[in-house]
Structure 1
């Protein structure tokens, strides 16, 4: 079981930093971020085994910061996906290479979990990799095998993070292997108006709980972007709506003792397209300068 606590997703990339360019936040920048987050959250979630989470684990350990970390991997695609518009095609040769790399990543994930066992909360074998749009699409059976494999390498709880609807439609094989189920809910991506967002997100939980009554279910992503282009309803994407939605879900989370990782701590300008209104850049409850948006102003009073 993952004990109920306050949780948030964390990627600390600032201006001119990007995992694509292998330019990562420094030790000092990570320390600044974690000192902010640890005052208000108990758990953070990270996504890969790059230099960034390694620095985070080191900073937490060396400075006795009271945060637990959910780690993860970003598997390389083992299915060629023509439905992905930004590069989901993989040759047979690339897929064979990716299969090897994916197990190497799992081994490295296990090494980090075991090295920092007092800091690591749980480990995920992927992030939305069974979604039809994903550039690194994975077979459901392979994700299940990866979960089973990782559990032989570490004692930390193992999960897979995926959209709530995907767990309903095709998650049963994976559910048999993971220790708990991690769902994502994004009403704003579905162009659901704010007035219906709370109901959609809570229903995502109840639908999955009815399918998997013996599994703990948590949210490893939910949030509300504060700026968008025509990918979303721009009238809905603002700081006021982010504040209202997150506060509604805070109350439900506390009442039902369901851990929910807000997506996310800080805006990330490296993400998505070059369009400054690209919604992927604006999910943070704080901006790139670490200035709080409306929802997070309560943390700085």
Structure 2
């Protein structure tokens, strides 16, 4: 799976929602008939069958990375024989009999050697990870990867039962964006050189409208479906909230609906292939999964992500695969992922095992606990702990005697002040913001916060958040802060966040330049005071009953007009953040 929860992928969220809607409409049109398929030597006349050893076993994706903390670290990680052997024994102990490798050149031979030399009863779908060949160097890199795939598939043909070229590279919202004609050339190149069935792995939306160029040269469809990710980007893709279901039944209802969504997406692919004359082309779910941990911090993901819900999804997938052939289930399902991948940061947590190789709820019962089979006991596996949607309940509004909600100040409290508690400051990415005694606002005590932006390519930010506070009664008030900076360029943003009835975080930002709302950039302390009404106007979805972040400061470059990758920004000091009636 490409890291779809990364900042790059988040840019595609709105587009994904639109594409999903368009896909549903296209299925309606397709049902009306029309179209057709031109005979090809592969798909109709020379298709290679998937062997029973491939379709009858439990399958999961596998990647051996352990220590890398980011994508930039991957090439530097030393992947050892001993670690791979430990991993594969754990995978085999979890009942998995087929693994999927995404690429060949980096570690394909090491994994295959470990399987062969230790007599492990594991088979494989071996992949080649290719990029859009925008120049000769990239084409050479792709050719080296394809050559490795061909070589390993030939020398380890007793283990490699199927082959895949490319991963999520052609669906419209992929950042890889390999043209289908180029991918077809790569697939044919590999297929002409190996004896195994060959495919390409891609999102269901691609397969539901796959072009002949690709269909001509594949033996089976390897389709990705991620109901959880669908709702991450477009919360109403399917009804995960299940509001009409009693709370004690809501988790089961949600997971049933999740699998039904996956079934609908696979059915869209099946219907398309049937309609164009490829009714016998097998469908393999090349990837699907359910995250056990909300590393992303998304306001709604915590109502879906848990180890128990992961097990519920996994068990339902197994039941689906076992359905009679007449129901047209997928012939194989590759579960994503065998182990957590910390290099994916906020997109981590999909593993059957944690990053430290502890078995999660989904596979714990496969073996009793031992030195080699360690349970993850950090969370309960009791089915009663499954998460589900729980609408917010507002606390009482702040008392009428509270005239100022103080978010940060070390000055003595005044009459009418309520000092915020249970709140913490957090950065966007690598922003640094320690306390300093070097300067403080005129009425802010002896310390302030010194923000060093350390911007990412898209910008930077810093916020204070905590449990929702009911700020009803402050609609006509102000959000205030003292700020000092020496020549900060252009605009900067002040924001607030709230929860909502749908548990979808609402955010509002006011971009200010020198002279707006009292803001200055002349290395003097100035008091910025923004009417709460201006935030409500900026985003009417804000719900003051559920204020989660009463203070946010940021500079997201595409919103403030700066160039992507802007750097060298000056220090920004803030102090005395508060709300007043």
* The two structures share one fold, judged by TM-score above 0.5: yes
SS in 2 for 1:148: helix
* CA distance, structure 2, for counterparts of residue 125 and residue 51 of structure 1: 15
- Is the contact between residue 105 and residue 145 of structure 2 (CA under 8 Å) also seen in structure 1? no
2:357 is matched with 290
> Paired residue for 1:38, among 82, 87, 92?
92
More helix by share: 1
Are the structure 2 counterparts of residues 164 and 237 from structure 1 closer, same or farther at C-alpha, using a change threshold of 3 Å? same
Who is 1:51 aligned against? 106
Cross-structure match for 2:64: 12
Alpha-carbon shift at residue 199 of structure 1 (Å): 0.7
| Cα distance, 1:209 vs structure 2 | 1.6
Instruction: Give the match's secondary structure for 2:63.
Output: coil
Once the two structures are overlaid, the 10-residue window that deviates more, 8-17 or 29-38, is 8-17
How big is the shift at 1:44? 0.1
Unaligned residue ranges in structure 2 (runs of 5+): 1-48, 232-237, 241-253, 274-278, 324-328, 369-581
Cα deviation, residue 23, structure 1: 1.1
1:222-241 map, 5 Å: 222-228=288-294, 229-230=296-297, 233-241=301-309
Residues 1:294 and 1:171: Cα distance change in structure 2 (over 3 Å): farther
Preserved contact between residue 59 and residue 334 of structure 2 (Cα < 8 Å): yes
Equivalent pairs counted in the alignment come to: 280
Counterpart for residue 556 of structure 2: none
Name the counterpart of 2:42. none
Change (3 A) 1:16 1:139: closer
1:208-223 pair list within 5 angstroms: 208-212=269-273, 213-223=279-289
Cα distance in 2 between the residues matched to 1:147 and 1:224 = 29
Contact 1:141/1:173 (8 A) holds in 2: yes
Q: Distance in 2 between matches of 1:267 and 1:257?
A: 25
SS in 2 for 1:291: coil
How far apart in 2 are the matches of 1:119 and 1:143?
25
Q: Do structure 1's residue 269 and structure 2's residue 342 form an aligned pair?
A: yes
Structure 2 counterparts to residues 53-92 of structure 1, below 5 A = 53-78=108-133
Structure 2 CA distance for aligned equivalents of residues 244 and 225 of structure 1: 12
1:99 matched to 2:172? The reply is no
Check conservation: 2:209, 2:272, Cα contact below 8 A.
Answer: no
Aligned partner of 2:331 in structure 1 is 258
Question: Which is strand-richer, 1 or 2?
Answer: 2
SS at structure 2 position matched to 1:190: helix
User: What CA distance in whole angstroms lies between the structure 1 residues aligned with 2:335 and 2:130?
Assistant: 22
Deviates more, 1:213-222 or 1:200-209: 200-209
1:9-32 deviations in Å (ceiling 9; x for gaps)? 011211347762331431011111
8 A contact 1:15–1:288 mirrored in 2: no
**C-alpha separation between the residues in 1 aligned to 2:339 and 2:145?**
26
Give the TM-score normalised by the residue count of structure 2. Answer: 0.46
Q: CA RMSD in A?
A: 1.9
Per the alignment, residue 88 of structure 1 pairs with: none
Q: Distance in 2 between matches of 1:36 and 1:239?
A: 18
Q: Which runs of 5+ in 1 are unaligned?
A: 79-93
Q: What SS does the aligned partner of 2:304 have?
A: coil
How far does residue 230 in structure 1 lie from its aligned partner after superposition? Answer: 4.7
Distance 1:149 1:142 in 2: 11
Distance (whole Å) between structure 1 residues aligned to residue 216 and residue 268 of structure 2: 17
1:111 aligns with 2:157: no
Q: Which has the higher contact order (CA 8 A, sep 6+)?
A: 1
Residue of structure 2 in register with 1:203 after alignment: 264
98-107 or 175-184, which deviates more: 98-107
Q: Contact between 2:282 and 2:330, CA under 8 Å: does it hold in 1?
A: no
SS in 1 for 2:115: helix
Give the alignment's TM-score, normalised by structure 1.
0.87
Q: 2:150 and 2:105 mapped to 1: Cα distance?
A: 13
In 2 relative to 1, CA 6–26 (structure 1 residues): closer, same or farther, beyond 3 Å? same
